[in-house]
A and B are shown apart, each in its own frame.
Chain A
């Protein structure tokens, strides 16, 4: 297609805008990464932009030596893995049951589900419920919070309804039970939808800081993101900050600063997502589409 003068001007403006936007998105991450690899006392002199000026791994060494952080990392990994598996298991099983023809009460079940997409009791009644069920301050809470997601169920259900029935029939003729059909035939061919929904569930669990902050009180059950809030808001009077400050004072040449440690912790909380993102981008993008076509 030929471009006339006004089109060319438009092109230049657009490329410029997009380049600026990309830079503004990218720079905060890159700058923080540079700071996390720079000697803390040197960072506080200013002027760190794209590259560390005096490179060090010290910040990361201290962060990984700090028991609280290491432990919180473990909690986050355990919660993300177990929570995603459990959520995918129950949600897909639910959706498969509801995708069958002639299920008694199907309409009622669906209405019950859809209502929860528009109405909720809010945080306070939920808090009272969790408290009364004795789930307060338990690892079980971290796993089952949001375990059955109605959005995901509807997406799974649409997918199952569109599967060709031939395979399932054949398995049934071979003597497979309905559960057997689900686990041996349906689940193995649900890879793409499972990957997309599982990915979003996992990222959600990995990033959740608020619910643990409210519903977990023991330090040994606090996941990394929640601990990170305590670290970033360094005003918090938590053991950790004292520990960090002790490190900061005792470290050789006073080179460690709280800011450097904050940056290093932020990076270890983010890197797993940044590392898998390029490989799974297509599933992430798919997730944006299914989310918008839920109706």
Chain B
């Protein structure tokens, strides 16, 4: 084996730098989660800091914020799954019915764009759209007498989830539809002809042919979605709460990821924040396995 290794030294040399990179920048941090079981700070270093076992996990579970954070995390991501998951499927189904190719192209071109725009700019656009002074949303609602005075949308905690989820859909719906459109394009046209012969109208054909035909793709993405259920959002929440400084909405906006960031980076409580993050990772992996197990049992599709 080693003589073969020596003969292919040039290929091994191509692999070496990137492999070293992955080991340093991915595997050392994975091993670094051990700080969750220590009392770590940047100056004493890893080896010198003492072990505290599950102490940080206990503090996290018993902290007054814990249940609130869990509620926000689950509520936001369930809402995102509930609205954000079907939205691109519906868009793809609608685009598939469009006969006018120019119109279809315009819709696709425009709706794909927000995916490539940074969250920073998107948040800037949202602040401008929802502004109290001359914000278009307030203007239009006032014009139609839906509201009397302009509303400060981003300062009302109860609206935060709704705004966050809507913005997420706005940004990703178009780009998300591409995969489903491709799946739809591979459906045998003969199926539609047969259905039309049997007297099914377009609306029925969508439910009897299109949706069943793309269901394997839908299920794969649903599994991934469930595995992601603890990723309620991060960049979007940071930016829409102005780097977590909008205190009024924080009781509705704090999720595990933002809490880890706040505790670890802002407050430099490295061990505590790592413990909270590790709790989330472990839970995510378990959820992914459960979702995949269910999908496999149903005999539909599997990630593995």
* B-binding residues in A (CB < 8 A): 1, 3-4, 6-7, 10-11, 14-15, 17-19, 21-22, 24-29, 31-32, 35, 43-44, 46-49, 90-91, 93-94, 96-98, 100, 102-105, 109, 112-113, 116, 118-129, 131, 144, 147-148, 150, 153, 177-179, 182, 203, 206-210, 214, 225-226, 228-229, 232-233, 235, 259, 262-263, 266, 269-270, 273-274, 277-278, 281, 284-285, 288-289, 292, 295
Contacts and interface: CB of A to CB of B under 8 A. Distances in A.
A159 to B, nearest CB: 15
Contacts of B270: 124, 127-128
B136 A94 contact: no
Contacts of B4: 102, 104
Interface string B116-138: 11111101111111000110100
7 smallest beta-carbon distances between A and B, as pairs: A121-B29, A125-B32, A97-B14, A207-B118, A94-B18, A125-B29, A46-B134
30 contacts: A6-B201, A11-B97, A21-B107, A27-B136, A28-B129, A43-B134, A90-B17, A91-B18, A93-B14, A112-B19, A112-B22, A112-B27, A113-B22, A119-B30, A121-B26, A122-B33, A122-B277, A124-B277, A125-B31, A125-B274, A127-B264, A128-B270, A178-B10, A178-B11, A209-B119, A209-B120, A225-B118, A232-B120, A269-B120, A285-B178
Interface string B87-113: 000010011011100010011011111
Nearest to A259: B128
Given A15-B103, A124-B35, A288 B179 contact: yes
Contacts of A94: 14-15, 17-19
A190 to B, nearest CB: 14
A1 B196 CA distance: 10
Interface stretch (B63-71, B73-81, B207-215, B238-246): B238-246
Nearest to A128: B32
Given A124-B274, A262-B124, 9 more contacts: A15-B103, A21-B111, A31-B136, A90-B18, A97-B12, A112-B27, A113-B22, A125-B32, A288-B179
Given A129-B28, A129-B32, A232-B123, A10 B15 contact: no
Interface residues of B, number: 93
B110 A96 contact: no
B255 to A, nearest CB: 14
Nearest to A5: B201
The binding surface of chain B is classed by DSSP as helix
Nearest to A276: B116
Interface in B127-168: 127-129, 133-134, 136, 139
Given A25-B170, A148-B18, A285 B112 contact: yes
A32 B125 contact: yes
Interface string B1-19: 1001100101111110111
A153 B21 CA distance: 13
Given A228-B121, A274-B113, A97 B15 contact: yes
Given A25-B174, A94-B15, A288-B175, A126 B29 contact: yes
A47 B106 CA distance: 27
A113 B22 CA distance: 8
Contacts of A269: 118, 120-121
A179 to B, nearest CB: 6
B230 interface: no
B15 A98 contact: yes
Nearest to B123: A232
A96 B12 CA distance: 10
A233 B243 contact: yes
Nearest to B117: A270
B114 A266 contact: no
B260 interface: yes
Contact of A35 (B112, B128, B201, B285): B128
B274 A177 contact: no
B202 interface: yes
A25 B110 CA distance: 7
A281 B116 contact: no
A132 to B, nearest CB: 8
Given A44-B133, A281-B109, A288-B178, A128 B19 contact: no
A60 B277 CA distance: 42
Contacts of B5: 104-105
A206 B281 CA distance: 28
B290 interface: no
B248 interface: no
Given A25-B174, A288-B178, A120 B30 contact: yes
B253 interface: no
Interface string B160-200: 00000000001001110011001000000000000010000
A289 B19 contact: no
